Amino acid sequence: MAKPRRGDSLALTIDDLAFGGEGVGRVDGYVVFVRGGVPGDRLRVKLYEARSRFGRAAIEAVEAPSPDRVEAPCPYFGRCGGCRLQHVAYPAQLAFKTKQVRDCLERLGGLGAFELRPILAAPEPYGYRNKMEFTVAEEAGAPVLGLHQADRYDVVLDIERCLLQSDAMNRLLDGLRREVRARALSVYDQGRGQGLLRFVSLREGRRTGETMVNIVASTPDVERLGPVAERLRECLPGTASVVLNVTAKKASVAVGTEEHLLVGRDHIRESLGGLTFQVSANSFFQTNTVQAERLFGVVEQACVLAGGETVLDLYSGTGAISLLLARRCRWVYGIEVAAAAVADAVRNARANGIENCTFLEGEVRHVLPTLVRDGVRAEVVVADPPRAGFHPKALQALAALAPARLVYVSCNPATLARDLGDLVRQGYRLEWVQPVDMFPQTPHIEAVARLSRA
């Protein structure tokens, strides 16, 4: 059969999911990616992109649904770029993510024998997020607060209710939308560099019930936004913090260069593992509180601490892992690039009466070699890098430190595989990997890997 062409109508069976959540089918060996396809589906699809080795197609008809296909509960599903697996039964999502971790480690990392532990399923497949970021845009002359349409960064869907966040956060989102419209607040236009509102970020302490609204705007218009903050607190009395972050940069990033407190405190509190954490607007904190507690339990078990060890916590954020481990070791050094997160970590240590932690601000690739040169030695290192994984210089410094045990927490199986492959070549043995489903309904997966010095 000749290679399919754009516009062709094809019959195919979906036999796999790609890393981004697209279904994968084949027509005489030609690979076709189908958004919305579920392994086991028999579909009629129309090809809208035809390259030499693969194509992409849209579903015309589901001729025979997979037993793993379910009805997506969200009215925005298929249009919103956020949750791409709502139409896949949760057990099948877990199987896909387990396979994703194994495939990456074996194919990309070239790793030999290791134990892949059963994935830790989330007890709450919906309503689990403690942080959401929404874009403020203008559609048909009216302001909208929502999420980007799938593959369209120029189109924002007006989201009335997101199923991944709690009812309290949805009430805050609705209240803010009403205030923006009632007060006719202007929306930032990136092309012209004019207008006020850019983003809104909502946070919630799932164990404390405290909520935060972070309004990101182009100017420090406290006079106009102060009354909005007061109305939000009336809308939801548990609102402990409303802050204004200001950025004049054109980049579409929901982080400000200066912050103004509008109502309440500059942080909210969360309880995790018996400790209390203060989380400010621009600090990183795991977005799934329940699963984070389980994840940190896996990390603690992997460290095998006897009480006399020095531990390094790389990419330490607001200090959650550092403070949990400090109860079981001699000393912890946490390294984090975000100044706000370091400040939160110091406050968190003080609030919990923990004195055996030192938090250092800076990039791991710069701070870690300095610690090594200063004579700091650690028996155990925990690392929780961003999706890009380790910078090569940071990985080189880690190998020079040569801790006996290394616990790697990753949100990206591809960079995890790359970094683990490098560490194995530098004398480490991969013992086991524990996947943890932090983000149900999405293709994303977290994993904890334990390595020991060979």
CA 443 to CA 95: how far, in whole Å? 11
Q: What are phi and psi of 147, to 5 degrees?
A: -120, 155
- Note the CATH number of domain 9-64: 2.40.50.140
Each residue of 371-397: pLDDT tens digit?
999 999 999 999 999 999 999 999 999
* Four-way CATH pick for 94-123+288-453: 3.40.50.150, 3.30.450.20, 3.20.20.20, 1.10.1380.10: 3.40.50.150
Third-level CATH fold of 131-268: OB fold (Dihydrolipoamide Acetyltransferase, E2P) (2.40.50)
Using DSSP, state whether 435 is helix, strand or coil: strand
Question: Is residue 190 very low, low, confident or very high in pLDDT (cuts 50, 70, 90)?
Answer: confident
Please report the DSSP string for 78-103 in residue order: TTBSS-S-TTB-HHHHHHHHHHHHHH
Domain assignments of the chain as residue spans, ordered by start: 9-64, 94-123+288-453, 131-268
CB atoms within 10 A of CB 101: 22
239-294: pLDDT as tens digits? 999 999 999 887 777 788 899 999 999 999 999 999 999 899 988 888 999 999 99
Q: What percent of the chain has pLDDT over 90?
A: 86
> Which residues touch 425 (CB under 8 Å, ≥6 apart)?
none
Contact 139/156 with Cβ under 8 angstroms? yes
Comparing CA positions, the residue from 106, 10, 110, 86 lying closest to residue 54 is 10
Confidence (pTM): 0.92
Which residue among the candidates 74, 83, 357, 411 is catalytic per the annotation? 411
State pLDDT tens for residues 90-134: 999 999 999 999 999 998 888 878 999 999 999 999 999 999 999
411 carries an active-site annotation: yes
Check if 9-64 and 131-268 are the same fold. Answer: yes
What contacts 202, CB < 8 A, 6 or more positions away? 131, 132, 134, 165, 169, 172, 173, 211, 212, 213, 214
Q: Which residues lie closer than 8 Å to 140 by C-beta, 6 or more apart?
A: none
